Amino acid sequence: MEHETQILHDPIYGDSGLLHFPKARRSSQGVDVVRKPYKENVFSTRGKVVCYLCSGQHPLYACPQFKELTSVQRLTFVREKNLCENCFYHNHLADACSRDRVCGIDGCALKHSRFLHAALVNLVQSDNNLVTGEVNISIPYVAVKVNNQICCSALLDTCSTSTFCTKRLAEKLGIRGKPINLELSTLSQKQISKTFVVPNLIVSSLTDNDMLIHKNVCILDHIPIKKTSLDFNKFDHLK
């Protein structure tokens, strides 16, 4: 019954979903006629649900392979595919999900799938159990030239999934970008703010001809870092 209920409440193909598939009606000639679904050409599968994990014709939450994964593995897969953590579809975040349903496990009132509950709860607990006090994290940086105009420092953050530049740098380059709503998640918090995104930013080396083109660079008021020094002699692998 739970499985059938999930199908009926599917945000895309359910009874109240974005696509409606009306029952066949009988024409005057006695031939069954079925109207085409709304915006059928949006999906290359022509109305068929394709699983993001196994490519089977079922939603992700009904996938046997997905159910066999641990909650942490499920959360990792969902985030790698940029899927909504509530309905497992793309193009939106859980906060903006049209599926008006909360988890419900152990009274959980958060808007996420029950398949991800354990992993998300563990993340919250890990954040709450962080040792209070000052913790220093050192990130390497290199000197670069941006858009062949401005020389500055570029942080090499291997944990970041996006590229950012400061508002001050954008103003020096004379670029503004397109307005967006940015969801920025760190180890301890998640915040959504209005900012701008630059379609392309060219970063080049000061010592040779190496060049990188970064796409969709988000503009931040500032990057929260402080100057520090590190004695490399203490770490053989950093020499």
Nearest to 165 by CA among 228, 226, 229, 214: 214
Higher-confidence residue: 3 or 132? Answer: 3
**CB-CB contact of 112 with 123 (8 Å):** no
Q: What is the mean pLDDT of residues 37-62?
A: 66
Higher-confidence residue: 213 or 40? Answer: 213
Nearest to 221 by CA among 200, 196, 192, 185: 196
Mention every residue, 6+ apart, whose C-beta is less than 8 A from residue 115.
61, 66, 67, 71, 74
% of the chain exceeding 70 in pLDDT: 75
Summarised one tens digit per residue, pLDDT across range 158-185 is 878 888 999 999 999 998 888 888 877 7
Compute how many other C-beta atoms are within 10 angstroms of the C-beta atom of residue 115.
19
Residue 38 confidence (pLDDT): 33
**Which stretches of the chain are DSSP H helices?**
2-8, 64-68, 71-80, 117-128, 167-173
pTM, whole model, 2 decimals?
A: 0.40
Summarised one tens digit per residue, pLDDT across range 15-28 is 666 554 444 444 44
On average, the pLDDT of the chain sits at 77
Residue 187 confidence (pLDDT): 60
